[in-house]
Structure 1
Amino acid sequence: MVENYTKLSIYDDIVQTIGETPLVRLKKIEKYFNVKNELYAKVEFFNPGGSIKDRIGKYMIEGAKKEGKIVEGGVIIEPTSGNTGLGLALVAADEGYLTVFTMPDKMSLEKEFLLKALGAFVIRTPTAVAPGDPNSYYKVAEAVRNLIWKKKRPVTREELKEIVEYVQKLVKEEKIDELREILDERIEETPYAYIPNQYFNKYNPLAHYETTAREIWKQTKGSINYLFAGIGTGGTITGIGRYIKEKRRDVKIIGVDPVGSIYNLVKKGMSLEEAVKKAHPYLVEGIGEDILPETVDLSLVDDIVVVNDQEAFAMTRFLARKEGILVGGSSGAALYGTIKYLKENGVKGKKVVIIFPDTGRNYLTKIFNDKWLLENGFEIDDEKVLEGLR
């Protein structure tokens, strides 16, 4: 008789299935890399939208409703690398809101198609532009919001489609002056369009403080020694770190940052102004920043380890073959950074939890596509890349 490992439950809607994701021991990874610690992955693709961002999607929408920032018939707009958009789109579809997401063009096509499948509109923006530029994905989201506010009433799906197509045309044709004009116009705020703005939304870290962190504490029975997580908006590592530090100050919270991001530079004491000058594009999605969001508290982070695109992608691919866990590049970065940090610092005999934020199904045409890797100058012999960690 085959044992049934699944706890069957019945839910009233899909949103109720968010959270309570498993911890999975990475025994084969431990053995292959000779890691003298217990590695446990918090596998967040078990959320219905496929990522950890479902948690904040739920919290940010519920918070906006509670505070009267969005009303029935309103439009939720968000600049996203994809996963936060999916979390918001999932909850919005369940609750009846229209959605628009602005997304840099480096993000995978899978994410765009998934957002559209959930009924969302998507506007693609240039990747290599400053956050304050009118055609950055942050500012384009504001332009869409302003055009809806200007109507002073709820918009229909057809009206929203026209607004989205108009703004996408301005971005594509680089009509910066027209975008700036929309952004600079003084328009009365209404509850018919709302940007949760995950980078500055208190419900982002709160979601992880109240759910992810408590789950990890319960699952490890409080015996966790290290927590490794990539830093994007910083909400995940801040929320988890705050809760766990309240429980036990000696637990080490380690951030993982891609080469090209500013977090590791700021943590080392560099001024934000100087760090931003050194920021440059990278291809791993969902982690790293060229701004310092309000949702990150680096004082809760004990240390930061830096990982490059090649290391992240090789580990992501290797993990799928070795453990059967198909995740995205930020998970590969987190795992590579974990092993690198533990070995360089001689850490042994500890219980280590690593956040795996999303599913690898979002990256089949990129990370898991040899042709794409080769075209972008990456090595496809993963074991060769990872040899230095053994």
Structure 2
Amino acid sequence: MAGNYTKMGIYDNITQTIGRTPLVRLKRIESYFNVKNELYAKVEFFNPGGSIKDRIAKYMIEGAKKEGKIAEGAVIIEPTSGNTGVGLALVAAVEGYKTVFTMPTKMSPEKELLLKALGAFVIRTPTAVAPSDPNSYYKVAEVVRNLIWKKKKPVSRGELKEIVDYVQRLVDEGRLEELKAILEEEVEETPYAYIPNQYFNRYNPIAHYETTAKEIWEQTGGDLDYLFAGIGTGGTITGIGRYLKKKRDVKIVGVDPVGSIYHLIKKGMRLEEALKKAHPYLVEGIGEDLLPEIVDLSLIDDIVVVNDQEAFAMTRLLAKREGILAGGSSGAALYGAIKYLKENGIEGKKVVIIFPDTGRNYLTKIFNDNWLLENGFEIYDEKILEGLR
């Protein structure tokens, strides 16, 4: 029996355990939905921070150090839906950096508590605002960075707390002009505050090209036909897609939530028009209302669209049927994969689906009947998913 367990090792620090996550066959899901394909989940919650974002966190910090963008005692700041923040906080703790994360209010309280447990400061921002607004989580990260740059030296934890508390007050009180003034003020760049910016950081897709994709190729022995992944920053699907397509004609299919713009742009809609159709949704970590620099839509063969209800029901069913407690973006990816395979009459193929994070981050939301009902969702998962069977 002992031979069936994961091989143990000894590591110098927790960041050395990032990656090398398992690929798990979803036989009970295949049977339940009568899917005539082999479904394999790349289960990324085996990373120490609980998500696939640990991979890019390590690469982005190592890249910044190599390029001289961060100095000893620096503060790493990032707009995040939670998981990238956890990864960055974990790596920063090992490397000795302080961290601040800006996060929309729709993100689960578990994610905020996780970040704080790792020593990070968190600033909550409105969800339904444009990325260019002074109180968006993108711009608020820049506000914090600029205030640190103005000091022209490393800041202590006490000084950082004062800055964070001040910025949170500006956001909570809607003092947009003051936020805008800080953003527009010319300040000299220093290595004491750094925003990796996963949406524009080249190390994001590189991390997946060099680790996630290579693991999938080795685990399948190169025998796979389809790869399904949610599109958030685009780093995961771009990095994996770039690697796999160099190896063989693997079909790369993105999964996008209703309210996001990726599927609209893929169909040929201009960015300006797509943005007019963007609207809030509740599944976390995938979809966008901007077009990140790192995403390469040409590598994506097709995109399937999933709504919140479908994503949440599949997430809950996955836990009950396979014992895999994953997050909402995993449920979305699985629903999207089954929907796509069935609608296109695809059979006899080997399919890999990326499961980005753990369901432990969503116990008070997706796995909480009261929260679902309060937000207008059904809780009878099997009934909701009947159409896929």
The residue type equivalent to 1:177 in the other structure is: E
Partner of residue 329, structure 1: 328
Structure 1: how far apart are the matches of 2:82 and 2:352?
24
- Equivalent-residue separation in structure 2 for 1:94 and 1:330 (angstroms): 28
- 1:3 Cα shift? 4.5
Instruction: Kindly state the Cα deviation for residue 59 of structure 1 after the two structures are TM-superposed.
Output: 0.2
Distance 1:54 1:301 in 2: 23
The question of 1:182 aligning with 2:182 is answered yes
Alignment of 1:218-257 (within 5 A): 218-248=218-248, 250-257=249-256
Q: Which residue in 1 is equivalent to 2:166?
A: 166
Letter in 2 for 1:352: V
Q: 3-state SS of the aligned residue for 1:265?
A: helix
**1:216-252: CA deviation from partner (whole Å, max 9, x where unpaired):** 000000011000000000000000000000111x210
Q: Residues 167-194 of structure 1: CA distance to partner in whole angstroms, max 9, x if unpaired?
A: 0000000000000000000000000000
Cα RMSD of the aligned pairs, angstroms, is 0.6
User: What 5-or-longer segments of structure 2 have no aligned partner?
Assistant: none
Residue 163 (structure 1) shift = 0.1
Aligned equivalents of 1:321, 1:84: Cα separation in 2? 27
Q: Which amino acid aligns with 1:71?
A: A
SS at match of 1:288: coil
Alpha-carbon distance in structure 1 between the residues aligned to 2:143 and 2:211: 33
Structure 1 residue 154 corresponds to structure 2 residue 154 = yes
Question: 1:85-130, CA deviations, whole angstroms, 9 ceiling, x for partnerless residues?
Answer: 0000000001100000000000000000000000000000000000
Counterpart of 1:196 in structure 2 is 196
Distance 1:261 1:138 in 2: 17
SS at match of 1:39: strand
C-alpha separation between the residues in 2 aligned to 1:360 and 1:173?
33
In the alignment, the residues of structure 1 paired with residue 194 and residue 89 of structure 2 have an alpha-carbon distance, to the nearest angstrom, of 13
Structure 1 9/32 Cα, relative in aligned 2: closer, same or farther at 3 Å?
same
Residue identity opposite 1:116 in structure 2? K
Aligned to 1:352: 351
Counterpart position of 1:268: 267
Distance in 2, Cα, partners of 1:57 & 1:295? 15
Give the equivalent residue in structure 2 for 1:21: 21
Aligned residue number for residue 276 of structure 2: 277
CA distance, structure 2, for counterparts of residue 347 and residue 221 of structure 1? 21
Unmatched segments (≥5 aa) in structure 1: none
* Distance in 1 between residues matched to 2:87 and 2:267, nearest whole Å: 33
* Secondary structure of residue in 2 paired with 1:269: coil
Alignment match, 1:295: 294
Pairwise CA distance, 1:5: 1.4
SS in 1 for 2:385: helix
For residue 295 of structure 1, report the CA deviation from its aligned partner. 1.3
Corresponding position: 1:372 with 2:371: yes
Report the counterpart of residue 134 of structure 1 in structure 2: 134
Partners of 1:334 and 1:173 lie apart in 2 by 38
CA distance in 2, matches of 1:365, 1:46: 21
Shift of 1:367: 0.1
Matched residue SS, 1:150? helix
Distance 1:288 1:59 in 2: 22
**What per-residue deviation string (whole Å, max 9, x for no partner) do you get for residues 260-316 of structure 1?**
000000000000000000000000000000000011000000000000000000000
Distance in 2, matches of 1:104 and 1:329, equals 16
* Amino acid aligned to 2:90: L
Give the aligned partner of residue 361 of structure 1: 360
Query: SS where residue 99 of structure 1 aligns?
Result: strand
* Equivalent residue letter for 1:100: V
Residue type at the aligned position of 2:68: G
Identical positions, percent: 84
Equivalent residues, number: 389
Query: Shift in Å at residue 58 of structure 1?
Result: 0.1
Alignment deviations for residues 7-42 of structure 1 (CA, whole Å, 9 cap, x no partner)? 010000000000000000000000000000000000
Amino acid at match of 2:178: E
Letter in 1 for 2:288: E
Aligned to 1:99: 99
Q: Secondary structure at the match of 2:279?
A: coil
| Separation in 2, partners of 1:295, 1:218 | 25
Q: What secondary structure is seen at the aligned counterpart in 1 of 2:144?
A: helix
Letter of the 2:259 partner, please give it.
G
Rounded Cα–Cα distance in structure 2 between residues aligned with 1:322 and 1:7? 26
Separation (CA, whole Å) in 1 of partners of 2:370 and 2:66: 48
One-letter code aligned to 1:16: Q
- Compute the displacement of 1:158 (Å): 0.3
- State the shift of 1:6 in Å: 2.0
CA shift digits 1:310-334 (9 cap, x unpaired): 0000000000000000000000000
**C-alpha displacement of 1:4:** 4.4
Deviating runs (4+, > 6 A) in structure 1?
none
